[in-house]
Structure formats: structure tokens, C-alpha cells
Amino acid sequence: MGIKSKTAMLMITASATLFSGYGQEEGDMHTGESTTVEQVKMAMLCTQKYSWEFGVAMQGLIEIGDERNLVIMAREAVQRSTPDGRLAMVGSEKNIADTGVNGPALLAAYKITGDQKYKQAAQAQYDFLMLPSSRNSNGTIFHNTKSPVIFSDNLFMVAPFLAQMGDFDEAMRQIEAIRRVLWNEKEKLFHHIRIEETGEFKDKSFWGGGVGWCAAAMATVIDLLPDDRKADKEKLIQYTTEVLDGCLAHQLPSGLFYNKITEPDFEETTLPCMLAFTIYKGVQSGWLNPSYLGPADRMRAAAYAHVDEYGLLQNASAAPRFNSPGTSTEGQAFFLMMEGSYRKMNRCPDKT
């Protein structure tokens, strides 16, 4: 059976887990928290979005169970796709990895509506990522067509989608590729941008957003892997725990982290949401020790303290250049993702 037909069969099963346990029943949270989540969501929906921002915004909607807005956005991602299969292509024709992050939402929209166009568009996006022209000679998916660079961001852009498409081998291959190119064993952190073939760093910093993408991606894939991939699960649990420990060694008294984790630039709010999402997800799923909840709760409290009256998460690494404090779609989205995983964890009776 070919990859394409095999994937089409597996896709429905993989997507069936997307909304398991999601959503919010009235009374589950304090009124103030529910109001803040709604304000953050509305502010996120009002932001301008490149392809990756569109995709991560839909991830935020998935985590809080907002099916109505998710389907609306998924429809737009399909409508603004390119003939080669790339989704939500607005603002840049160079995207390769970034477009993959839209895939999980299309699988969710297909599950909700049964509309074949979402399934077909997800398949086309998958096929694009699998093209030899989308990757280097080692099989690592490029970030864009401008130069042969590998970003830490790529891990979240492609690995969860590949796993949800049922291609667990390729998901693991991309995770191992990012670690091979960007992992720093001493610091237990990911560098940001590098050319694999030459070893040249385009950005050697441990950018918090990039590290957070990696942690969140691996946590997501752990839960997607089937039981017969026990060795892969154990490997990813080790990888994820290591990067959490690497980050927590630099957590500031405020509960936040520097934008470039090991460099005292400015205290930033997106990475805390990313790591709190990862921790709550891991504890709820039973693969992460509950001792990590203390640091995660400090991150969550700090994030709440930085949401303004308009629902904007302030002091995020500011889009689109991510080198100064401000706001970003991914900051908004990961606030929602953090809250979604926090809610699910609190429904789990055995988390202490």
C-alpha cells in the first residue's frame, strides 16, 4: 500500500483524538479566568496572521474546544492554499515547514463536519512536506525556500501533523533531525537557526519561542504515538523532560524567562505559556512527574498578570521580528493552549 493511500486511512483514526476531553463546561473555572480566556481568544482572532500564526491560532481553538471558530478558520486555510498544497499562504511565498502547522486543524475540521475538502487539503499539505524539494539531503524539512536553514520552530510546524497523519516514522525522523542540528547537550536547550550541511549558525541563541515550540511539539507527539511505539514514547519523554529541566534552570523569580533564555534581554511571556502547556499535558497524560506543576503554576500566574484589558498578552516576543517585548498571535494561542491543558489536567483524578 502506498504512503498516500495508507495515510488517508490512518488520518481519520488519528484525528479522532483531537477533541477528546476538550471544551469547557460551565462552572469548571472561576468566572474571572473564563472571562480572561475569552478576551485572549477574541484578541487572537483579531490579529493579522502569517501561515504559521494562522495554524497555531487554530491549535489554540482546538485546545479550548471552540469548534465553530475552528471550522471557520480551517475553511479560510483551505481557501488560501496554493496549488502545491501549502495551506493559509498569506504574506510569504517562501514558507515550507510553517504551512504544516495548519494541518491538525484541517483534520479536526474534517472530524467535525465530515467535509472531504478538509481531508483532501490535509493530504495535499502532507504530500508537499514529503517532497524531496521540501527537505535537504539528510531528509530534514527546510524552514523556507530562501535558504537551506533549519529552525527550531520547525519541530512544532511538522512533527505533530505528521503523527496525526499516521506517519509516526516521519514524525520521529524530523524530531531526531532537529535535535541533531540544534540541540545543545550542555545547556539542555535548542539553538534557533542553523544550516545542517555547513554547520553554520544563523542564530545560535537559545530563543525562548523556538525552545518552546520544540517542547510543545514533543509533548503533543508523545500522546499521539500508539502503544506499540513504546520505545519512541520513552525517548520523547526523556527529550521533553531534558528540555524542561534546561529551561527551568533559568526560570526567573517572576515566573518568566528571558526572551533569549540564557541572555538577560527582557522577561518574556510566550515561553512560559508553551512550557506550562507542556507540563500540564505531561502530568495529565501520566508521563511527567507532578513535581513540575509548581513551576508551571508560576508561569501560568505570570501570564495571567500580563494580559491587558483588551485580552492581549503583553511582553510576548513581539511579532513579526521577535526581538522586543510586545504581542504576538503565538503568544495568544499558547495562552489558550496552556488553559486547555490546564483544564483537562484538573479533570484528571490522579495528578498529585
pLDDT at position 30 is: 63
Q: How high is the pLDDT of residue 319?
A: 96
| C-alpha to C-alpha distances, 100 to 66, 124, 285, 311, nearest whole angstrom | 21, 10, 25, 27
Residue 20: is its pLDDT beyond 70? Answer: no
Mean pLDDT of the 64-71 span? 98
3-state SS, residue 98: helix
| Per-residue confidence band for 348, with pLDDT thresholds at 50, 70 and 90 | low
316-330: pLDDT as tens digits: 999 999 999 999 999
Q: What is the pLDDT of residue 154?
A: 97
Query: Does residue 286 surpass a pLDDT of 50?
Result: yes
Domain-located, residue 14: no
For 75-89, the pLDDT digits (tens) are 999 999 999 999 999
Give residue-wise pLDDT tens across range 226-243: 999 999 999 999 999 999
Q: For residue 263, which phi and psi values (nearest 5 degrees)? A: -120, 130
Please, which contacts does 301-310 make with residues 24 or more away whose CB atoms are closer than 8 Å? 301/255, 302/254, 302/255, 302/256, 302/269, 302/272, 303/269, 303/272, 303/273, 303/276, 303/335, 303/338, 304/33, 304/36, 306/269, 307/36, 307/39, 307/40, 307/335, 310/39, 310/43
Instruction: State yes or no: pLDDT of 112 exceeds 70.
Output: yes
Asked if residue 348 belongs to a domain, the reply is no
Residue 299 has pLDDT above 80, yes or no: yes
Q: Is 57 a domain residue? A: yes
How many of the other CB atoms lie within 10 Å of CB of 289? 10
* Domain containing residue 302: 3-7+33-343
Residue 352 has pLDDT above 80, yes or no: no
Q: What is the pLDDT of residue 93?
A: 86
Report yes or no on 279 lying in a domain.
Answer: yes
pLDDT tens readout for residues 45-60: 999 999 999 999 999 9
170 domain-assigned = yes
Q: Give domain status of residue 319, yes or no.
A: yes
For 208-214, what is the mean pLDDT?
Answer: 98
Number of independent structural domains in the chain: 1
The pLDDT score that the predictor gives to residue 109 is 98
Share of the chain above pLDDT 90, in %: 87
pLDDT of residue 264: 96
Does any domain span residue 159?
yes
Return mean pLDDT, the chain.
92
pLDDT surpasses 70 at 68: yes
Percent of the chain with pLDDT over 70: 90
Work out the pLDDT band at 217, boundaries 50, 70, 90: very high
Instruction: Say which CATH number the domain at 43 has.
Output: 1.50.10.10
| 117 occurs within a structural domain | yes
pLDDT digits (tens, 9 = 90+) for 135-194: 999 999 999 998 999 999 999 999 999 999 999 999 999 999 999 999 999 999 999 999
pLDDT top residue among 148 and 12: 148
Mean pLDDT along residues 28-57: 91
